[in-house]
Structure 1
Amino acid sequence: MSTKIRKVAVIGSGTMGHGIAEVTALAGYEVVMVDVAQDLLNKALERIKWSLDKLAERGGTISKEKVSEVMGRIKTSLSVTEAVKDIDLMIEAVPENIDLKKKIFSEADANAPSHAILATNTSSLPITEIASATKRPERVVGIHFFNPPVLMPPLVEVIKGAQTNDEVAKRAYDFVKSLGKEPIMVNKDVPGFVVNRILVALNSAACLLVTNNVYSIVEIDSAVKYRAGLPMGIFELQDFTGVDVGYLVGFAVAVRDPMLRVPCPLIEELYKKGWLGQKSGRGFYEYKGGPYERANIPREAGEKVDLVLIFAPAINMAAWLLREGIASREDIDKGVKMGLGWPKGVLEYADEFGIDKVVEALNQLYSKYNYDLFKPDPLLTQMVQEGRLGQKSGKGFYDYGATGVTEFKEIILKREPPLAWIILNRPHRLNT
C-alpha cells in the first residue's frame, strides 16, 4: 500500500479550489482539478496562470521558466469518478452544502484507491458527518485552508473526525507542511474548529455590546485596531470578508453548538438587506469610493473602550479549546496569529490583561446577558484560584520571569560551535 502522496484531486475550481490546486502543483504534486463545467475549469486555469506569472514577476517563489512546468502538472476533469481513480489524496473544496459534500465523498469513496486519503476544506461543517457518507471514515480528515490559499495567511487547520486514524491525520499534517504552509492540529471535530470558534466568540461579544449601546461600532474597531494591534477592526474585517460569509459561518456553527448561540441582530439585518460589506458598497460602514475603499476609523474613538470586555469571550473560548484537548496552547495562539494576523496569541493577550480581569469581565457579561459563551471556563477560574494570573504573577498560560517579562520568542538561537545563528521567527509577519 502506497503511503507517499504523489497525485492529488481537488474537487471544485472556485476561489479556494483553484488556489489549493495552485499551491499543490507549486509544491511538485500532480494535480487533477474537477468541476461541473469545462468553462469553469478553463477560467480557473487562467487564474492560476495569472497568479503564477505574478509570483514569477516578484521573484523568489518561482522563476518565469518554471511557470509552464507547474501548469503542466495541473490536469482537469468533469468527473469525480475518473479523477480519483489513481490519486493518493482528495481535497474537496465545493460550497458549504453538507448534502453536496456527502455526495462527492460517497462517489470518491467508491472509486478512489483504498490507500487514498479523502479530505475536506470545509470551514464550518462537521468532518464526522461528511465522513459518514463513506466506508472509510478513518481515512477522512479536514484540511482547512484560509483564503487566499496561495498568499497569506499561511495557516491550515488539520482536523480529525471522530474516526480519523492518527496516521492519516499525521500524513495530512506533513502534506500541508510540504506546501510551505503552517498546520495546526485540531484533535476533535468541533463546530468552527479553532480559529473560527475564537473569531465567532469575539464577533458575538462585540455585536452584543453594540446592540446594547455599550459601545459603538467605530469605538470597538478603533480600540482593537489601534490599542490591541489587530490588523483590522472587528466590524471592518466582516465588511472586508463579506457580511454574508460571517453570517453563514456564524449560523452554521451556532446551529450545531449551543455555546455559540449569541444572536447578532445587526449582522442578520445587514445580511437580509443585502448590505454585504465592501463588495456591495455598504455593510457596517459605507464605501462610496468603491470596493477597495477602507473604512474611516479614527484613532481616538476607542480610547475609553475596555479591551478586556471585548476579548474576554474569545479568551474563554480558547481556554475551553485547551481544557477539552482540542488543540495545544501553541497551536491555539499560532492559529490566531497566522490565521487572523493578530500580533499576539489569544492566550498571550489573556496573560497580558490578567486572568483575574478576564474572569471579572466574563462574570459581568454572564450576569447581564446569561449566554453560555460568557460563563467563565473552569480552567480560568482554577488559574485565578491558584494565583496564575499571567505576566503580573510570573505565570499564566505561559511562564514569565520574576520581572514579569517573558523570554524573547521571536528569535531562534542556533549553536553549532564555533558558529552561532540568530534566526528571525516571525513567519506570520514574513519575518519583518
Structure 2
Amino acid sequence: MSADRLRRPGAAVPAPRVAERTLGNGVHLVVSRLATTPLVHAHLAVPLDVAALGEGPAALADLAAVELLAAALVEHPAAHRLEERGGTVSVTRRRRLLVLTVSAHREDLDVVAATLGALLTRPWAGDPRPAALAACRTFSALVQSQPAAGSLATLWRRVYEEVPVALFPAAPPAAFAGAVPDPAAVRAGRTGPRGAHVVVVGDLHEEATLDAFAGALSGWADERDPAVPAPVPAVPVVRPTGHLDREVAGRSATHLRWAAPAPGPEDPAAPVAALVLGGNFSSRLNVVVREELGLAYRTAAFLHEHGDRSVLLVEADVTSTRVGEAHDRIGGLLARYAEHGPRPEELRAALAYTGGRYATTLASQSGRAACLLSYLTTGLGLDAIATLPQRLSALTVEDLRAVAARWHPDRSWSVAVGHAVHPHQHQHQHQHQHQQEVLA
C-alpha cells in the first residue's frame, strides 16, 4: 500500500473508560476494566523526595539509598507471598520516580492491593540489606560495562557541567562502598503518598477495585518534610564548539550520539517528528545511514524525558574507521530535516503508524496501564488520551518542520565514544554552537 493511501488516525479509537478516586492521604487511584485476559496489572508511581538528587557526592549517596530501597522492596515478605501464588513484583527507579509494578490473576486482586500496601508500610521480616546490596552492585557493574551507557554518560557531561544524578541509569559501584542505610528509614524519608498515582488495569470490577486499593493504601502516612524544596532543574552550560572525541580501548565499534532540544510531552508533533527521523526501519536515519550507505548497524532517534525538560536523542553505532563520514552524513540529514521538515508521504505514514500503535497499546492490559501511568506522571492528565487521535490528525508538515528546526546540528551537542576515535578522522565536521538556550 502506498503512503498516499494510508489513513490518518482519527476518532475511531475510543479513549479507555476509567474510574478515579483520590484518597485522603493524597493517593490518586485510577482503574480501567479490560477483560482480555484473567489478569490484573497495578502500577504505583511514587515521587521521590530527592532534593539531593541534583549533583555531587551527597546526591550520589542519595541515589544509592533509593536504589537500595528498590532492591530491598523486592525482598519484602509481601512480595515473596505474591510470587508464591504466581504473581510478579518489580520495583524500578525512573529518574525521580519509584515505580512498583504488581501483576497477578484476577482472583488475587485483593492480594495485589494488600501487597502494595505492605510494601509501602510494613516492616521486613529480616535484614534485606545484604541481598539488596548484592543486587545493586551487580546491576551497577552491568550498566557500567555497557558501551551505550558510557556514551550516554559522555553526552550528558557534554550538555551539563555536572550531570544531575537523576539522569544516571544506575548509581556507580563506588556509591555502594560505604555504610548501607536502613531501607525502612529510606522508605519513610524518601517516599510518601503525596503525589502518588496508582493505575490498575485488568479483568476487574471498577468500584470493588477502588475499594480494595483504598483499603490497602489509606493507612499510608506521609512522614516526609513538606518544607523540602523541589529539585532545581539543571541548566545546560555553554561548551566550546566542535565535536567531542573519547577513546575507549577494546571496542571495535563507536557510538555516535546527539542531544537536541525538544518540546515537552504536551506537543504531539515532537514524537511524530522523531518517528520520521529515526523511530523505525522506514525512518530517514535507518534508510539512508544504515541501508543505503552502510555506515551503521543500528540507528535510532527518540525523545528522552528526564524530569525537567525534553531532549531528542539521536544514536548510531558505526564502525570506528568511518566515524567522520557517518557524523557528517547524519549532521547533513539533521540539517535538511530542520530546514525542510518531512515530506507529506512521510507524515501520513508516521501518523498511520502512530495511530496503530495507539490502538494496540490501549487494547492490551499492560500497555494500557503503562499508558495511563505515563500520562499521569508527565502531567498531561487522562483527558489528553481522549483527544490524542484528533490532535494527531490535525498535524501538518509545517508543525513537524517547526519542531525539527530545533534539531539542527548548530543547536545540538554530539559525542563519539568508542575504539580509536581521533580528531583527525573528522575532516568535515559541522561546528556546533552549544548555546545556553539549547535545552530551554
* Higher normalized contact order (CA 8 Å, seq sep 6+, divided by chain length): 2
Q: Greater share of strand residues, 1 or 2?
A: 2
TM-score between both structures, scaled by the size of structure 2: 0.28
TM-score between both structures, scaled by the size of structure 1: 0.29
